[in-house]
Amino acid sequence: MQPVSYVSYSTHPTKAVEIPFSKDGRKRCRAVDDFQVYGTHKVPVGKTEMKIGYDERNIYIDVCCHEPSGVFLNSNKGKSNDVWNGNDMLEIFFGSCAPEPWQFQFAVNAAGQRFDSRGSTDDWTANMEFKEGAWSINLAFPFDLFPNSGLSIGFNLCRYAMHRKEITDWGGIDVSFHEFENFGELLFCTYEQALFAKTGRPVNRKLTRSQYERELAQASIPANVLTHGPLCSHVTEDSAVVSFGTAGNCGAYIYYRIKGMKGTRWNKMPLALRNGLVGQTEAFHRAVLKRLRPGTDYEYMPVTLAPVSDKLLKCVVGEFRTMDAGKKEFSFVFMSDIHSTASLLNAIVKSDAVAKCDFIVNAGDPLSRGNGYDTVYRGLFDPLAATGKNIVFVRGNHEQVGAYAQITCDMIAKPTGKTYFTFRQGDVLFIALDVGDDHSDTVINKNAAVIAEERRWLRRLKEQPVFREAKRRIVLMHIPPYDIEHSYAGQASAKVLGELADCDINCVLCGHIHKYFVIESGTGVRNFKLTGEKLADSAKLPFPVIANSNDTYLDVKVSDGSITSTAIDVNGKIVDIVRL
């Protein structure tokens, strides 16, 4: 269970002030004067006071700029469309970077000139007045201007006192006026309600402003903190994928190098790099390492970038070993159809078989429906990442269920983007296949064209040296070639496997039915070994098919002379052994 937390993009605790509602917003206002000098965050020489309130139509911000020098610069009119012409002035910003980025910039100078980043100054008002030792400006911004940001709005106000060359702001920006990561917030609710909204944790007591700011800071997790993974997947002889998740959106690098070579510098790979720019708008990060050496141990380290400061945060070091064509013995664990059953997944990942294996095959349906990143992290990614093993993902039909299914597919994808692929370990060529959903095409599911493409790929693959010269071949897929009279999915599986009917395939490993069975070579008979039931309903193929259940996993050991698949249940009991 993850602690309740608030993802913070700020470089310091976020300021916030509860502002009151009244029928006429200016009748009840909150006074705020904790401005600071831009860059240094020191107390300014010139005091600035704001009184903020709201009614059904507007946010009201009345600003009083005390000027100890008594000198106001307001005579330079300059160009009519340029408020940055040397006069005293205010810049007012609204916006935030999460959950969706948005920002508006308004400005008004002491000569009365105005700027609006939306291109229109007609729908907000700014009334100015000069007094002894101060100038004031009363602002009113209609709610209609802003996107709905709930019960709070990101806000900052910056002041230029030009005679003294002092620039101050309320939110606490570090490097840029447009830095919405460090804006403060105006709360249209109580501090207790705001803390509940930010952290998901109900609050059963009254809070003051300072208590709210302190408790929010305590519940904050910086956006660039590693919260998921790293997970290593789809390792081949010369490549690997490393994925990880951060608390919020941030930039990231992956550092990697051959393990054990003292003094070797890290290779530093920026992620989400496009057109010379490292992307900082994603919380899921994925690195594809290429040009690696076969049979070699590598170590890697995710490195994340702090928002605003761009400071580097070095995270945990992981390792993997690239596949090795010369390997004589190895093992892998084959799991399928977990369907969010945490007890089953926990039993498998803590098994001796996983501890000793070279890699894990997750052959589909880890979740019944992937409803976004969090479900994939909890139900699949985090438990498998904890094993520290290389994970081979083979897509199942449930990875096509729901509006956010594409996120699941992207998180587990092979770098080719295809759900059918090959890799080698020892003298075995592994062929991962996919027939997509378990029903024919709909307006969402479009597998017929992919299956046709996959069959053409298989025909080409059979002609290539990597296939022809492999001594042994194991097929990994989700749906078996079962019930070919009635099942669309079984027919689709049989059709794809039919492309290999003239090949020497050692076995096909699959899942999907939630019952353990074996189809002996050339029989087309499903032998449910645990119940003794037999069904002569499957495709007759010249190689055996083993279907894993939803309460078993396969511990597959490959040696020079044999391949042995041991089916084990969640209690660790061996339920079947097949020697291939």
Contact between 303 and 255 under an 8 Å Cβ cutoff? The reply is yes
Nearer to Fe ion, 249 or 397 (CB): 397
Residue 67's Cβ-count burial label (10 Å; 0-12, 13-18, 19+) is buried
Looking at beta carbons only, is 236 or 375 nearer to Fe ion?
375
What is the β-pairing status of strands 102-109 and 114-116? antiparallel
Nearer to Fe ion, 285 or 512 (CB): 512
With respect to Fe ion, which residue has the nearer C-beta, 47 or 339? 339
- Under the rule (CB under 5 A), what is the footprint of Fe ion? 365, 396-397, 512
Q: How far is the CB of 553 from Fe ion (least distance, A)?
A: 15
**Nearest alpha carbon to residue 156 among 10, 20, 25:** 10
220: Cβ–Cβ under 8 A, 6 or more apart, which residues? 5, 6, 7, 8, 13, 14
Q: How far is CA 551 from CA 343, 510, 548, 569, in A?
A: 10, 14, 8, 6
Shortest spacing between CB 440 and Fe ion, in angstroms:
16
Q: How far is the CB of 412 from Fe ion (least distance, A)?
A: 15
Nearer to Fe ion, 213 or 365 (CB): 365
Map residue 576 onto helix, strand or coil: strand
- Least CB distance to Fe ion at residue 495 (A): 17
Whether 500 and 458 have beta carbons less than 8 Å apart is answered as: yes
* Min separation Cβ 559 and Fe ion, Å: 31
CB of 580 to Fe ion, least distance (A): 23
What is the smallest separation between the CB atom of 400 and Fe ion, expressed in angstroms? 10
- In angstroms, give the least distance from the CB of 548 to Fe ion: 11
Nearest residue to the partner Fe ion, using Cβ: 512
For residues 450-484, one letter each, b for 16 or more C-beta atoms within 10 angstroms of the residue's C-beta and e for the rest, the string is: bbeebeebbeebeeeeebeebebbbbbbbbbbbbb
CA–CA separation, 509 and 522 (whole Å):
16
Residue 213 or 337: which CB sits closer to Fe ion? Answer: 337
Q: How far is CA 488 from CA 432, 437, 445, 480, 495, in A?
A: 20, 9, 14, 11, 10
Measured distance CA(190)–CA(188) in Å, rounded: 7
Please give the full DSSP string across 25-48, using - where no structure is assigned.
GGGS-EEE---EETTT-PPPSS-E
Report DSSP state, residue 397: G
SS3 93: strand
Of 203, 83, 205, 103, nearest to 153 by C-alpha is: 103
Q: Which CB, 228 or 512, lies closer to Fe ion?
A: 512
One-letter amino acid identity for 232? C
Beta-bridge partner residues of 509: 476, 546
Q: Which residue pairs, CB below 8 angstroms and at least 24 apart, start in 560-564?
A: 560/328, 560/329, 563/428, 563/472, 563/474, 563/506, 563/507
For the bound state, the minimum distance from the C-beta of residue 489 to Fe ion, rounded and expressed in Å, comes to 8
Among residues 241 and 401, whose Cβ is nearest to Fe ion? 401
Measured from the CB atom, is 395 or 512 closer to Fe ion?
A: 512
- What residues contact 56, with CB distance under 8 A and at least 6 apart? 23
Of the pair 274, 486, the CB lying nearest Fe ion is at: 486
Smallest separation, CB 333 to Fe ion (Å):
18
- The residues facing 256 across adjacent strands are 267, 300
Rounded to 5, what percent of the chain is helix, strand, coil?
A: 15, 35, 50
Name the one residue in this structure whose structure tokens are 């709909």: 442
Which C-beta is closer to Fe ion: that of 379 or that of 396?
Answer: 396
Spell 223-234 as b/e; 16+ CB within 10 A means b: bbbbbbbbbbbb
What minimum distance in Å lies between the beta carbon of 514 and Fe ion?
8
CB of 512 to Fe ion, least distance (A): 4
| CB 363 to Fe ion: min, Å | 9
Which lies closer to Fe ion via its Cβ, residue 44 or residue 396?
Answer: 396
Comparing CB distances to Fe ion, the nearer of 248 and 366 is 366
